Copies of this chain bind each other. A is one copy, B any other.
Amino acid sequence: MGASKSDSFSVEHNEMASLFKALSHPARIAIVDYLLTVDTCICGDIVNELPLAQPTISQHLKELKNANIIKGTIEGTAICYCINPDTIDKIENHFGVIRHKLKNKCC
């Protein structure tokens, strides 16, 4: 085997797992962090910020985009990336539910 049995789980569980998978690599955490640090959304220099080759960064950006964690809009030759607040909401909400359920627990 090796493929995860995603068909066996609920849509919601799969959705949350996909979101977390997109955030499960330090380079992608660093990208999100960097996008939040710079003042504007015009971010053509992610490649210079991280110790990875350009194709590798492009691949990580694609995964973040596919997971709807970031959005990219074309600005001339560069691409402007920024965080998608809706997805952050979704994740925060997930932990809000966990927090709420934890309140009624023995530990």
Contacts and interface: CB of A to CB of B under 8 A. Distances in A.
A33 interface: yes
Interface string A45-74: 000001110000000000000000001000
Interface residue tally on A, bucketed by range: 35 or more
A78 to B, nearest CB: 16
Interface of A: 4-6, 8-10, 13-14, 16-17, 20-21, 23-30, 32-33, 36-37, 40-41, 50-52, 71, 82-83, 85, 88, 91-92, 95, 98-99, 101-102, 105-107
A5 B41 contact: no
Question: Which of A21, A37, A105 is packed against the most chain B CB atoms within 10 Å?
Answer: A105
